[in-house]
């Protein structure tokens, strides 16, 4: 019985490890969410949102669940993780 519980705990632990993006492991943003995790950059043609991704995982969400207005089938409503800033999710709202 103890072995079963141990194996279950181990698989839960490994599952959690697998979900957290590798880039979060050493990131100082790998902590509970804060209001300041979202920054907004406004322009005349666009508005850029930047959201720290590690706190999103800490809150048991992930980038696939971070969809504007729940528009899952609209690619423009999904955030992007860019190579030069892998711990942030970028969403651009444009009036074009």
Ligand X SMILES: *[C@@H]1O[C@H](CO)[C@@H](O)[C@H](O)[C@H]1NC(C)=O
Binding site for ligand X (CB under 6 A): 62-65
H helices within 1-96, ranges in order?
2-19, 53-58
Closer residue to ligand X, CB minimum distance, 21 or 47: 21
CB of residue 18 vs ligand X: minimum separation in angstroms? 9
CB of residue 60 vs ligand X: minimum separation in angstroms? 8
Closer residue to ligand X, CB minimum distance, 83 or 96: 83
CB atoms within 10 A of CB 31: 13
**Torsion region of 94: left, alpha or beta (phi above 0 gives left; psi -120 to 50 gives alpha):** beta
């Amino acid at each position: 019985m103890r072995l079963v519980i141990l194996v279950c705990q181990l698989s839960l632990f490994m599952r959690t490890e697998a979900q957290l993006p590798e880039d979060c492991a050493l990131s100082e943003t790998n902590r509970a969410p804060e209001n300041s995790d979202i920054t907004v950059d406004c322009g005349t043609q666009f508005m850029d949102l930047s959201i720290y991704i590690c706190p999103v995982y800490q809150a048991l969400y992930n980038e696939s669940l971070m969809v504007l207005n729940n528009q899952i089938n609209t690619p423009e409503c999904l955030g992007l993780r860019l190579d030069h800033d892998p711990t942030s999710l970028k969403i651009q709202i444009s009036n074009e």
